[in-house]
Structure 1
Amino acid sequence: MWRLKPSGSPVGFLCFTYDGSVKVMMRYLVMLMAVVFLSGCVPIWTGSTMQDDIAALKAEQARQNETLEEKQKELSAMVESARNDVASLNQMTKEATELLARNNADFGLELEQVRQELQRLVGKMEETDFNLQRLQSDLRMFKEDVDIRFADGGGTPLPEKADELYKFAQDKFKNRDFRAARKALESFAVKHARDSRMADVVFMMGETYFEEGEWVSAVFEYQKVFKNYPRSSKAGDAVFRIGESYVQLKKCQEAQLFYESVVSDYPKSTYVSQARERLSKMKGGQCP
């Protein structure tokens, strides 16, 4: 009969020896095929091919690993370069921001200086305009006074004593003879400059101009009151009347400052309540 035994033949793992009938041989052949297929045994040449493929795969994996390492190194270098670029950009941005801030500060300072100079020039212009209007008013009134004096032969003689001269001025003012009242007040200021009623005299002088609509001249006189006689009871009244004069000159913004000064600095003034009313209207958008 045939017997199954190992063989050193290069063409297979197993070989058969005859040891009986064909039927027995076939039985052993079927068993051999089953063992081969079920056990996973493969021919020698197939195993060699698989080893070559595995070796090739390992070599390819090694090359891929080397490529991956190179790519990682390149990527790391790119990341480091990007970080350096970002750091440089941040530094440049910081320097640019600091420079811009310095430039803005310098520009802001220059702009503030220009604004202050402009305000100074505007104030100077307004002051010049006031002086011009005052000069025009004085010239006009001087001409009218000269005409009056020539008409009545030089005018009525004024009293000499302080009390009489002051009463004379008051009477003329009440009768709305503002020019005569003003002449008496001017005479009083020259002859009795140390009199305790000087604040009232100057204030009344401003009132004569105010009643005649000579707003600029009135402002000049009222200013003398709170500048030269700040502790007088007329100081707050004069500030209020300056506000009123500015309103008549259509300068409500300036007038508001004087009304506010009356309320805050001269609470005992007889015009405090009126100053508050004016301010209330102004806050409502009205120019009284």
Structure 2
Amino acid sequence: MVIRGLKGWLANLQVVSISVLMTVGCATQQDLVTVNNRVIAIEKRVARQEKTARTDRDALRSDIQSYREEQLKADEAYRIRHAELHSLMEDLREEIADLRGQIENSRYDMRRRTETLALSQEKNEQRLKALEESLRRGLDRIIQLEQYLGMEPSGKVDYAEATPPGLEKGKTKLRKTPDELYTEAKQQLDSGKYESARELFLAFLKQYPKSENADNAQFWIGEIYYREKWYEKAILEYQKVIENYPKGNKIRSALLKQGFAFFNLGDKTNARLILKELVRKYPRSNEAKIARKKLKVLE
């Protein structure tokens, strides 16, 4: 617009100049040519300036357009990245919430399992007391019958300290070696003589607590209670294997049978919990294979 005004001004200048020269009457032909040449030169310079200005304007427009496009791309990339970060944060929040839920469930299951074991132990103690009382009454009855029949009374027997089969009080026999005592206890178990086997295994643990067969003896005590269907007591004895012999070769079997004992008591929750723990800790063991089959039944 400025250039167009300048061109108009130059044209007017040319007309005015010629008019002035003609008016004064002293202008020559050469003067007119000189003035015209100057005007033409100025017009060319203005044209060049106008072309340069137009080129600069086009370049500026192109730069502005490029900047706008780059800005749009940057804004789009920012929106995409922001959306991705928002989605990631939501996923992390959900994962944290799930982990918290799992931790709370694990705490609840462990607390319930502990309470169940404590309750079972209390019931077992009550059963043991009842059994002791029943045995005491039975022994007293035997003595009364012996007296009634005129037989020589055998006296009251302290059954809590009675000598297990295979063992002798006093020093009439030499103390058996660990292998001899363990073998005899296992033979009693295999023969179905559970009470005798249990007492022998208990004696073995008392005399040889550091023996390499100590964990086996403890496991067989739990197994005897399991076969007698005294599942509460079996659970407690299996727990001793797990706690006292964590590196022994019977810990997998103890976990498996402990889970089965809970199942037989109708406590599927603790049964499932223990069997899953077995599979998690010993996934390639034969016991884990059996546990997986049982878990399918519990699902």
TM-score normalised by L of structure 1:
0.51
- The verdict on how the C-alpha distance between 1:177 and 1:250 changes in structure 2, with shifts beyond 3 A counting, is same
Aligned position for 1:246: 262
The superposition leaves residues 75-101 of structure 1 with CA deviations (integer Å, 9 ceiling, x where unpaired) of: xxxxxxxxxxxxxxxxxxxxxxxxxxx
Structure 1: tracts of 5 or more residues without a match: 1-114, 284-288
Distance 1:252 1:187 in 2: 34
Q: CA deviation at 1:217?
A: 0.7
- Amino acid aligned to 1:280: K
State yes or no: 1:224 paired with 2:214. no
Contact kept, 8 Å, 1:137 with 1:214, in 2: the verdict is no
Distance 2:270 2:163 in 1: 41
Q: CA deviation at 1:130?
A: 1.1
Distance 1:144 1:188 in 2: 27
Distance 1:123 1:235 in 2: 18
Distance 2:111 2:275 in 1: 25
Aligned position for 2:119: 129
Structure 2 counterparts to residues 23-34 of structure 1, below 5 A: none
Higher relative contact order (CA 8 A, sep 6+): 2
Structure 2 counterparts to residues 264-279 of structure 1, below 5 A: 264-279=280-295
Greater C-alpha radius of gyration:
1
Contact kept, 8 Å, 1:237 with 1:269, in 2: the verdict is no
Aligned position for 1:256: 272
1:233 match: secondary structure: coil
Structure 2 counterparts to residues 161-200 of structure 1, below 5 A: 161-200=177-216
State yes or no: 1:156 paired with 2:146. no
Distance 1:186 1:254 in 2: 28
Aligned position for 1:108: none
Aligned residue among 119, 129, 145 for 1:139: 129
Q: CA deviation at 1:267?
A: 3.1
TM-score normalised by L of structure 2:
0.49
- Amino acid aligned to 2:271: A
Distance 2:181 2:268 in 1: 37
- The verdict on how the C-alpha distance between 1:190 and 1:122 changes in structure 2, with shifts beyond 3 A counting, is same
Contact kept, 8 Å, 2:241 with 2:251, in 1: the verdict is yes
Q: Output the aligned Cα RMSD.
A: 3.3
- Amino acid aligned to 1:135: E
Aligned residue among 208, 218, 229 for 2:224: 208
- Amino acid aligned to 2:165: T
Structure 2 counterparts to residues 77-156 of structure 1, below 5 A: 125-140=115-130, 142=132, 156=165
- The verdict on how the C-alpha distance between 1:204 and 1:210 changes in structure 2, with shifts beyond 3 A counting, is same
Contact kept, 8 Å, 1:137 with 1:217, in 2: the verdict is no
Distance 1:271 1:121 in 2: 25
The superposition leaves residues 233-285 of structure 1 with CA deviations (integer Å, 9 ceiling, x where unpaired) of: 210110011100100111001100111112111235432221010111222xx
2:280 match: secondary structure: helix
Distance 1:139 1:269 in 2: 39
Q: CA deviation at 1:227?
A: 1.2
Distance 2:107 2:272 in 1: 23
- The verdict on how the C-alpha distance between 1:135 and 1:120 changes in structure 2, with shifts beyond 3 A counting, is same
- The verdict on how the C-alpha distance between 1:234 and 1:213 changes in structure 2, with shifts beyond 3 A counting, is same
2:176 match: secondary structure: coil
- The verdict on how the C-alpha distance between 1:169 and 1:252 changes in structure 2, with shifts beyond 3 A counting, is same
Contact kept, 8 Å, 2:225 with 2:234, in 1: the verdict is yes
Q: CA deviation at 1:209?
A: 0.5
